[in-house]
Every structure is written in structure tokens, then in C-alpha cells.
Amino acid sequence: MDVFNETRSFDPAAQKMLKIADKNNYETVWDRLEKQQPQCGFGLLGVCCRNCVMGPCRIDPFGEGPEKGACGATADTIVARNLCRFIAAGAAAHSDHGRRPAILLKEIAEGKNKNYFIKDEIKLKNAAKRLGIEVEGKSINELAKEVAEIALNDYGKQDSNPIKFFQGYAPKKLKEKLSNLENVLSEKLNKRIGIIPRNIDREIVDIMHRTHIGVDNGPLSLVMQGIRAALGDGWGGSLVATEVQDILFGTPKVHSVQANLGVLKENKINIVIHGHEPVLSEKIVEVSQRPELIEYAKSKGAEGINIVGMCCTGNEILMRHNVAIAGNELHQELAIITGAVEAMIVDVQCIFPALANLSNCFHTKFIATSDQAAFPGSIHIQFEEEKADEVAENIIKLAIDNFPNRDKNKVNIPEEKKEALVGFSTEQIVEALGGTPEPIVNAIKDGKIKGIAGIVGCNNPKVTQDYFHINLTKELIKRDILVIGTGCWAIACAKAGLLTLDAKELAGGGLRSVCETLKIPPILHMGSCVDCSRMLVLAGAVADYLGVDISDLPLFGSAPEWMTEKAVSIGTYFVASGIPVHLWPIPPIMGSQEVVKILTETAKDVLGGYFVVEQDYKKAADIMEKEIIEKRKKLLGE
Ligand code: CUV
Ligand code: SF4
């Protein structure tokens, strides 16, 4: 294997596909990133401002050029504003995703949508109770309507009270801490500071307003509003997405699936579903099992229909069904390069527009479905919830009709695939523990496990694909730290064969014994990016159980290969909820010492969570382990 491809990806399937790409001049994200070098230093430091047309302005970090923008904005202001806009976009993506299932739930409850129904009544009742709804004597549809209305109201209400989802789900001490902090900071800055989200959408709009030229120039108040919007994502929009999707499609249960490009089948119609929202992809999975469609596939010479996932739509589907996952973010182009994909169906987020050109080199139909997402060069088949069955059927038929166009000479499916145990919703984890967090708490008390790390996030071609994810994860379990997580990290672990009971052999003795007793892997796949809310809810449950704050628990977060604005929002709501977070690559904030100080020091004092940046996986594990050990000691009063 040549070294160049090894530096691009740690995944042997990807290394093989990259060789094929090189040989045939198929352009990938790695090639395009190379052409971007050297990247703009101002952008990397976050000191470039385009918020008005007196600009663009930039600050010279070496003090040789301009110290202020034309309006007088300093590096601190510019960096803080840019960070806020990053968070706003990330929180918007997650929360807008959550809005759709919430609207769908309401429509189902009102009898307006007959394409979907409520699968998980227990989850619905539990959600209703959390939200303070009287459950006794109400029908499922009545409850569904009330839950949906509370969710939608959290997006649209105009009073300043906390959103209901935060009130109903966040642990007691977090609520107290944030409300105290609002008072302390307001007094200190002599200016009202709000941190608890009032409305999921409003906190995002507030950021756009505040970062307009000539509004908020204070790094601290800007960062606090960023935190508020991020909390509106973690304890709001993302949580709504997770809860309502569970109600609609079922709370995930533990089961096994296969992962990596080897799940594509030589003799079947391969349909890759890629993006984030499960509303359409649930239907595609369901409809693809209809006997008449399978017959139709056979009439075209295929042996059947093979639906596989990619990125977070893939995570959503694999959590609830026995549907394989073809890969994470940096696999999206490689899947097409296998030459065996009849259709790549996408909705929103993390989808490279480059897929349009690349699919032209093959027979692959690149099909966009969301009214929010256009991909020039793609085929657009508009998805509508009221016509879900029909749309799903049309898409599948298009893929089937495309099978005879497949060029056998271009087919290169790598054999790599691994078995993975998935489906660890909070409910399943608590069930594995016998109904209460006690066994985990005891394992921590006994010192069998030191604590828990939550790893999230993407791939980023600036980092060797999956290298940081896998090595950091292995390093942590070796040190008796249980690892949970979501997103492209989880897919990386699945592809590497780490999501198995056997992975306990890689764990330290203490963690291994816990895995044996509870019959769980040392690494737990909790779902898609919006399912980071599952981690918050789990952390909150343990905190409430012990009567402490989340920041007192031996927890650490990490996003070792992150790239999206959503990841910044996730990191920020972890920090704000009391969980320290490791990041790599460096976020674009280094141009302001003030902002760096707020995120790494002030945050630690006032929130308990904070950010650290580290490029080396062993050093990152050291930092995480050290903090986890200290927290554990303190918690036990040692
Ligand atoms: Ni939502 S956000 S690259 S697909 S995890 Fe994957 Fe996950 Fe990051 Fe995107
Ligand atoms: Fe320049 Fe200020 Fe306009 Fe930003 S807001 S572009 S710093 S003048």
C-alpha cells in the first residue's frame, strides 16, 4: 500500500478506492483540498470579517498590519462574531432537522398524514411525562398532538421563559447553575446576559442580529449568546429530533449490522441513502422490501435491492433497522467510485456538491430530494411527507431501471466490511444496566472504569481519515474509560471492527470485566449527530441520580476529526452543560486571545466545561484521562 494513500485514510477500503481514483483521475475531496493550499491565514485564525461592505476587513495577527476593521472592530470582536455565526449555522441545521419530524408528528396526530404512523407509544408517553403533560386518560393521538405542539412552540414562542424541552429534560443542577450564571454575569457586565434558551429559532436569529455590524462587540456577551443558541440545539432542536424520531420510527434497540464499502453487492441494486433526515429514508427502507419491487429488480437481472446508509442518515437507519452502513463522510465519493451504486439519494447536510460531477463518470444517479438542498447536476425528485410512499417507490424504480446501465468493467467493490453492534439508545443502555444508572455508578466507584468519554464528529481530510477516531478510542478503552458516541466517529469504529463484544480484549481489565458482566462492547454507538442529545440526557440522568452537576461527573467529550459548523454547536453545548471537550483540528479562534481565554479558562470556572485542542491522540488521551481521574476522586470524596 503506498504511503500517500495511507496518509489520506487509515481505512484499507478507502486506500484501495483512492488508488483507483488516482489511476483513473477521479477527483476527490483530498485532491481539491490540496489545490486550496496554502489556505488563508486570516481565515484560519478567524480574523477576517465580511459582515458589511466597508469590508472585507482583516486584522494582522503579527501587529504589523491593521489592528482594527474599518468600523473599529477588534480581533476579539471579529473572532467572537465569527464563532457565533458558526454556532448559529450548526444549531440551525440540527434544529431545522428536528422541526420536520415534529410537524409530521402533529399531522399524524391530526389524521392529516396517512403515510406514517406512531411506532413507539411508550416513548411518546415518557416524552409527554417529561414535558409535564397529563398522560392519564388520553389517546395516543391526543398525546402526540400535545407533544408536537410543545416542541413546535419551543421553536416559536415569544416569551422569555426557558424552552419546555430544556425544562423537562435538563438536570436540576444545570438549570440552577445556568440561571445563577445569568445573574452573576449580568451584574458583572452591568448588562443583561441570557444563557438559558427561550426559543430554539430565536437564539439563532439573535446571533444573526447581534453579529450584524454595529451591534454586539463584546467577546463575552457574544460567546454567551453562542452558548445560548448551542443549548437551544442540544437541549432543544437536536433533542426534539431524537425524541420525535424515536416516537415515529421506534427507539433504537441493540442489534448487529455490517459496515464499510464491502456492504455494496455485486449482484444487487445498490441504493445509498446519504444525508441526515430519516423521514424519507425510513420509507425507502420500508418500500424496498415490497415483493413487487423485488420482482421488478429481478426482471432487470439483479438478485434484489440492497439499501445501505452513509453518514448520519445511515446512522439513523442502522440504529432502527438491519441496514448496513457503507461509510462515513470521506467515503461518499469512494462509494460512487466502486461503480456499483445505482442511486445515491441525498437530503441535507454534509453532502459534497462534487458528487454530481463524479457520478457522471459512472452510471450512478445522484438524486436530491430536499426543497432546501440543490445540487447542480443532480436529478431532483421532490420529497413530500404526504406522498412519501409514492416518492420512495419512484426513487427505487429509477434505481432499478438504472441497473442495466452498470458498466461491469468499472465495478470495484472492496471486500472490507465488519460486523458492528449498534442501537445503544439511552433507554437500551439503562436497560442493559438493569433499569438504573447504578451499575455504571458502582463500576466508577469501584474503579473498574475511570469514567466515560463521548466522541463525536466528522471526518476531515486535514486528518488521516479515521486515524484519530480509532486510535484515540483504543487508547481510552485501554485506560478503562468507557467510550460512547455518534456520527462519523461511530461509523469509523464500526468499520474498524471496534463495535463488538470482542473489542473488550482491547480494553483495560476493569472495563473488560464491566463489559463481560453487562454484555456490552466497551464502545457504544448512540446514533447520528442529533443523537448527541442522547448523551446529554444520559449524563443528566446520572447527575440527577447522584444529586450532582454534570460537571462533577468523570466525563470528557472529543471531536477529533471535526469539520462542520454543527460540530461546533455540539462541542459548545457539551461545554455549557459541564463537559470538557477536546478538539482537533483547531477552530478558527486563535486570532483572539480573549476568546481563547473565555473558551478554555473562563468557561471552566463558570460552566465546568471548557475546550482543549490537541493534535496527538496519546496526548489527547492523557489530558482526558487526567481530568477524568480528578473528577472521579472528587466525586468519591477521596
Ligand atoms: Ni451528522 S456532521 S460529517 S454526517 S459527523 Fe459526519 Fe454526521 Fe460530521 Fe456530517
Ligand atoms: Fe470591516 Fe467592521 Fe464591516 Fe466587519 S463589520 S467588514 S470589521 S467594517
| Structure confidence at residue 433 (pLDDT) | 87
Please identify, by atom number, the ligand 1 atom nearest to the C-alpha of residue 457.
5
Q: pLDDT band at residue 398, thresholds of 50, 70 and 90?
A: very high
Instruction: Tell me the three state secondary structure of residue 608.
Output: coil
53: CA distance to ligand 2 center in Å?
Answer: 7
Residue range 378-382: mean pLDDT, rounded: 98
Q: pLDDT band at residue 535, thresholds of 50, 70 and 90?
A: very high
Instruction: Tell me the three state secondary structure of residue 310.
Output: strand
Residue 632 has pLDDT above 90, yes or no: yes
Please identify, by atom number, the ligand 2 atom nearest to the C-alpha of residue 49.
4
By C-alpha distance, which of 169, 171, 244, 163 is closest to 197? 163
Please identify, by atom number, the ligand 2 atom nearest to the C-alpha of residue 70.
8
> Tens digits of per-residue pLDDT, 30-73?
999 999 999 999 999 999 999 999 999 999 988 898 999 999 99
| Structure confidence at residue 557 (pLDDT) | 98
User: What share of the chain in percent tops pLDDT 70?
Assistant: 100
Residue 3 has pLDDT above 80, yes or no: no
Beta strand 48-49 with 269-274 is unpaired
| Structure confidence at residue 437 (pLDDT) | 87
Instruction: Tell me the three state secondary structure of residue 380.
Output: strand
Closest ligand by atom to 69 CA: 2
Tell me the best of 233, 564, 565, 568 to mutate to test the pocket of ligand 1, counting ligand atoms within 8 Å of each CB and taking the most.
564
User: Ligand 2: residues within 6 Å at CB?
Assistant: 49-52, 54-57, 69-71, 73, 78, 213
58: CA distance to ligand 2 center in Å?
Answer: 8
Return the amino acid letter for 449: I
300: CA distance to ligand 2 center in Å?
Answer: 59
Average pLDDT, the chain: 97
What is each CA distance from 396 to 19, 46, 266, 280, 294, in whole angstroms? 31, 44, 17, 12, 10
Tell me the best of 233, 311, 583 to mutate to test the pocket of ligand 1, counting ligand atoms within 8 Å of each CB and taking the most.
311
Return the amino acid letter for 542: V
72: CA distance to ligand 2 center in Å?
Answer: 8
Instruction: Tell me the three state secondary structure of residue 573.
Output: helix
Question: Helix 278-287 vs helix 238-249: angle between axes, to the nearest 10 degrees?
Answer: 20
Please identify, by atom number, the ligand 1 atom nearest to the C-alpha of residue 349.
9
Q: pLDDT band at residue 4, thresholds of 50, 70 and 90?
A: confident
> Tens digits of per-residue pLDDT, 457-514?
999 999 999 999 999 999 999 999 999 999 999 999 999 999 999 999 999 999 999 9
**Closest CA to ligand 2's atom 7:** 69
Q: What are phi and psi of 251, to 5 degrees?
A: -75, 130
Contact indicator for 291, 299 with CB cutoff of 8 Å: no
CA 106 to chain centroid: 25
Q: Which domains does the chain have, with CATH numbers?
A: 75-249 (1.20.1270.30), 261-410 (3.40.50.2030), 425-636 (3.40.50.2030)
Length of the chain: 638
Beta strand 418-422 with 255-259 is antiparallel
Residue 326 has pLDDT above 80, yes or no: yes
> Tens digits of per-residue pLDDT, 419-464?
999 999 999 999 988 888 899 999 999 999 999 999 999 999 999 9
- How would you list the strands of the sheet with 305-310, edge to edge? 379-380, 365-368, 343-346, 269-274, 305-310, 325-327, 255-259, 418-422
Q: What is the DSSP string of 156-181?
A: H--SSSPPHHHHHHS-HHHHHHHHHH
Cα-Cα-Cα-Cα dihedral of 398, 369, 242, 168, to 10°? -150
